[in-house]
Amino acid sequence: MAYRYLFGPVCSRRLGTSLGVDLVPLKTCTFNCVYCECGQTTSLTRERREYVPTDRVLAEVDEYLAKAPNLDYVTFAGSGEPTLHSGIGEIISFIKDRYPRYRVAVLTNSALLTDPDVRAALMQADLIVPSLDAVSEEVFQEINRPCPGLTAGQVLAGLETFAREFTGEIWLEVFIVPGLNDMEEEILRLRDAIAAIDPDCVQVNTLDRPGTEVWVRPAPPLALERIASMLGGNAEVIGAVCMGRALPPKAGEVIDLLLATIRRRPCTIGDLAGILGLRPAEVSKCLRVLEAEGRVEPVREKRGVFYRAI
């Protein structure tokens, strides 16, 4: 079965072996973040609706999980903001009811957590990984470039309310953009906001792949450690890309899996080898074919040459 709404499993830095569930078309989001590895938001919206057919997503999930794959998480993420999909709660419930052995994670930018329906839809998940990049309105607008009408105060209020209601784990992500939210004043605001949210842990992140805007650069490791120490005892810097166990694909699926992965985020040859359990030489050969066909292009960054979909 060729999957349209599932991707991976990938070897995630944070979530181990993770099967991705993608519920919105590229790039449908409430934010247009300067650092987003998926590129510019083409549909900037707050409208919740059935962006892709819920029944087809359920069919793919059912077909895949019925094989009892070895996964650490089933993760809602991918091409945009997953909570925009009106059926996310139904899909999470299906997984937890039919395949309770699997932990469910949702990656969200937190923009819609003020909506009681969104909060209710996420209650059966095991783990929520929300983002909070800024507390002051000016910095929030500069980094996240939200849909008109969304404010930093709303995002923070939604996070605080959700954290009071949710019984699972919350791993709060703070993405550092040098020159915008790495100043002491903003870090102290974030520290106070984090204290109010009281997440299980705080993950300090920075650019690892090419971002939306070319001027966004990664924060230096020492700066990240300093920021983590300022944010509190449960804050940690996210490590390098995971190169652990993965699930090797069949030979005929390699090109499709490479494309599906690259469409959602640029990757190096080493990233793809680790994510998909392939030999680097095999990845390189496939990428040469895709590049010759005009389907991917190489982009040189500090960490190496990344391939992104055209």
Q: Which CATH architecture has domain 248-310?
A: Orthogonal Bundle (1.10)
Give pLDDT < 50 ranges for the chain: 240-248
| Tokens at 27, concatenated | 């790039």
Task: Identify the pLDDT of residue 245.
Answer: 42
Q: Say if 6-246 and 248-310 have the same CATH topology.
A: no
pLDDT of residue 252: 54
- Contact status, residue 247 vs residue 277, Cβ threshold 8 Å: yes
- Please, which residues have CB within 8 angstroms of residue 227's CB and are 6 or more apart in sequence? 174, 176, 182, 187, 204, 219, 235
Q: What is the reported pTM?
A: 0.80
218-244 pLDDT per residue, tens: 999 999 999 999 998 789 998 644 444
**pLDDT, tens digit, for every residue of 11-33?**
777 888 899 999 999 899 999 99
Read off the tokens for 251: 């030979």
For residues 188 and 210, what is the distance between their CA atoms, to the nearest angstrom?
28
Structurally, what CATH architecture does the domain formed by 6-246 represent?
Alpha-Beta Barrel (3.20)
Domains of the chain by residue range:
6-246, 248-310
d(CA 259, CA 257): 5
pLDDT at 250: 54
Nearest to 160 by CA among 124, 130, 204: 130
- What is the Cα–Cα distance from 240 to 238, expressed in whole angstroms? 7
Give the β-pairing of 6-12 and 16-21: antiparallel
**Count of Cβ atoms closer than 10 Å to residue 31 Cβ:** 23
Phi-psi region of 130 (alpha: psi -120 to 50; beta: other; left: phi over 0): beta
Work out the number of other CB atoms within 10 angstroms of the CB of residue 13: 17
**Joined tokens for residue 309:** 């979909």
User: What pLDDT, on the 0 to 100 scale, is given for residue 255?
Assistant: 79
